[in-house]
């Protein structure tokens, strides 16, 4: 029996560019702790240009809410002479421990993303009929795509995942507390991976 045709505009092929999750961690949309609207967590303005995406795990952060004006600051912790980075993953912002703004229920799970660029890459992968591994610019072992959960990769969930990603894309443009997804709340599912330490000369 032939498979259903892909939705209009869906790419038929995706070659993994090897991008790590860190690539999407510069701008993270979160739930504001004061009003419950959309807030932005980003590196503090005025910092030197990035040399490595992994530096985003250690940089000073500022969370700002355009809806109510709330502002919060965060500095990385220290261990000896090094800075302690965060561990990415899960439905909480790794910096301020706020629920991600971009969350929705999907295929009996919760689908999440950090920002619209993250949504775009997930949609390119989920919508592709042919999925290829690529060498990319980074280590294949750090690539985001192979680390996606099995339910997101299952062909039977393709339509649900693409619909969920469109819901997330719409949420990017909504910032009022009333626009908050019913999935965007604390779960305590932050990763337990040991965070890295950044020394002068690079992260380890």
pLDDT the model gives residue 6? 47
Question: Are 170 and 113 in contact, with CB atoms under 8 Å apart?
Answer: no
pLDDT the model gives residue 79? 83
**For residue 51, how far is the Cα from the chain centroid?**
20
pLDDT the model gives residue 68? 96
Q: Where are the domains of the chain?
A: 13-184
Phi/psi of residue 139, nearest 5 degrees: -70, 130
Tens digit of each residue's pLDDT, the chain (204 residues): 333 444 545 557 777 777 899 999 999 999 999 999 999 999 999 999 988 888 999 999 999 999 999 999 999 888 887 888 899 999 999 999 999 999 999 999 999 999 999 999 999 999 987 766 765 455 556 789 989 999 999 999 999 999 999 999 999 999 999 999 999 987 766 665 555 665 545 543
pLDDT the model gives residue 203? 47
């Amino acid at each position: 029996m032939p498979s259903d045709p892909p939705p209009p505009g869906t790419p038929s092929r995706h070659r993994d560019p090897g991008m790590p999750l860190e690539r999407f961690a510069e701008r993270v949309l979160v739930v504001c702790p004061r009003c419950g609207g959309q807030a932005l967590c980003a590196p503090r303005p005025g910092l030197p240009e990035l040399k490595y995406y992994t530096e985003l795990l250690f940089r000073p952060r500022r969370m700002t809410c355009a809806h109510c004006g709330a502002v919060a600051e965060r500095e990385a912790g220290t261990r000896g002479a090094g800075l302690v980075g965060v561990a990415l993953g899960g439905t909480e912002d790794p910096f301020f421990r706020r629920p991600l703004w971009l969350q929705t229920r999907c295929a009996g799970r919760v689908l999440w993303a950090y920002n619209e660029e993250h949504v775009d890459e997930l949609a390119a992968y989920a919508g592709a009929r042919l999925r290829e591994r690529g060498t990319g610019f980074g280590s294949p072992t750090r690539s985001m795509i192979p680390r996606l959960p099995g339910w997101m990769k299952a062909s039977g969930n393709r339509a649900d995942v693409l619909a969920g990603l469109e819901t997330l894309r719409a949420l990017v443009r909504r910032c009022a507390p009333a626009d908050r997804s019913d999935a965007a709340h604390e779960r305590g599912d932050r990763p337990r991976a040991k965070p890295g330490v950044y020394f002068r000369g690079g992260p380890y």
